[in-house]
Structure 1
Amino acid sequence: MLERGHWDRDRQQVRAYYEHIPRGDGPRIEACLPQRYLLRDQVDRLLNEAGLAPLWIHGDFDGRACGPGAEHFVVCAAAKP
């Protein structure tokens, strides 16, 4: 499996390209997985526009605190009362 990526900062988009090269016979398989990431203030605005409120926000899937240096954030939200 080979992987390469392209980051478009202005569009907030990452394109990950994967290529599977089989050991024996068989075709090569190539795929592109475009991903759009959101910034924290964008998530808050979009949740509010959808009638949702965050229940909790973690800095990663392991539940660590979300702070200024966190590379990720995981949001759990529910409908506003």
Structure 2
Amino acid sequence: MAELKYEITQEIIVISESSQGWTKELNLVSWNEREPKYDIREWSPEHDKMGKGITFTKEEMKKLRDALNDLDF
């Protein structure tokens, strides 16, 4: 399996933290030296391990933001 390269270019927000220290975060991440994308996933305390996540382009993030703004929490 090919090595996965990533670089967290901007830490935006820690959404939550588990009792084991893993954090669910929204970050800007460059995957395999590509243009950074918005990324939501769980990270180990040292950011050397990660859970499954989802990435968004800037346009997708704007659509998500607009949809969330329309929700009544």
Scaled by the length of structure 1, the TM-score of the pair is 0.27
Bigger RCO (CA 8 Å, 6+ sep): 2
Structure with higher Rg: it is 1
Structure with greater helix share of residues: 2
